[in-house]
Amino acid sequence: MLDRPLVVSGELSWLGGDRLQRRVEHPQQETSTIADGEVTQQREGRSPRHFSLKRAPQLQVLLDSFVALLGGDAARLQQAFEVRQEGDARGAWTLTLVPRDARVAKTVASIRIDGYANASRCMHLQEADGDLAVDLLGPLAARMPAEPTREALQALCQSTP
């Protein structure tokens, strides 16, 4: 539906446990929170919208991956995903997560996290329909290309810090 990438800037925070919050500053202000099996979206000037996490399996996958990764819970990660790890001698690494649940795989094909040393640099959420969401993490987020393309983001994510 879009003829060019949609660039969204903001912050994704793990609030502990099974709780995540995403605050978007641009192109419009919005806060989305996942907590207690429910998603709450608040857009500026609108009433909050609430719905069950069961209605959004891709958000459940995102939640599971973040909580397991940030909490260091390898068992939870391997329960929800097939986990593939790659690395090289210079310190670059890639972690690819493929959902085990067939219903989830109908919307989310994979999550790939690129990193260097002990820092995550990019997260790629590949949707089953071919759409791709790329999140630049930490200091890399300030280096968003003026004209982001898949190729430009890939080069940035795999560059040496």
Q: What tens digit of pLDDT does each residue of 74-84 get?
A: 998 998 899 99
Domain boundaries, the chain: 8-54, 56-161
| pLDDT for 11 | 87
| pLDDT for 33 | 95
| pLDDT for 2 | 57
Q: What is the length of the chain?
A: 161
| pLDDT for 19 | 92
Please, are residues 105 and 128 in contact by the beta-carbon 8 Å criterion? yes
Ranges under pLDDT 50 in the chain: none
What is the C-alpha to C-alpha distance for residues 53 and 35, in angstroms, rounded to an integer? 9
- Give tens-digit pLDDT for 69-112: 888 899 989 988 999 999 998 899 999 999 998 888 998 899 99
Please, are residues 8 and 136 in contact by the beta-carbon 8 Å criterion? no
What is the C-alpha to C-alpha distance for residues 28 and 8, in angstroms, rounded to an integer? 9
Helices (H), strands (E): how many in the chain? 4, 10
Surface-to-core class of residue 132, CB atoms within 10 Å of its CB (0-12 exposed, 13-18 middle, 19+ buried): middle
| pLDDT for 1 | 53
**pTM of the predicted model as reported, rounded to 2 decimal places:** 0.82
Give the residue from 41, 42, 62 showing the smallest Cα distance to 52: 41
φ, ψ for residue 136, nearest 5 deg: -90, 130
| pLDDT for 144 | 84
| pLDDT for 44 | 86
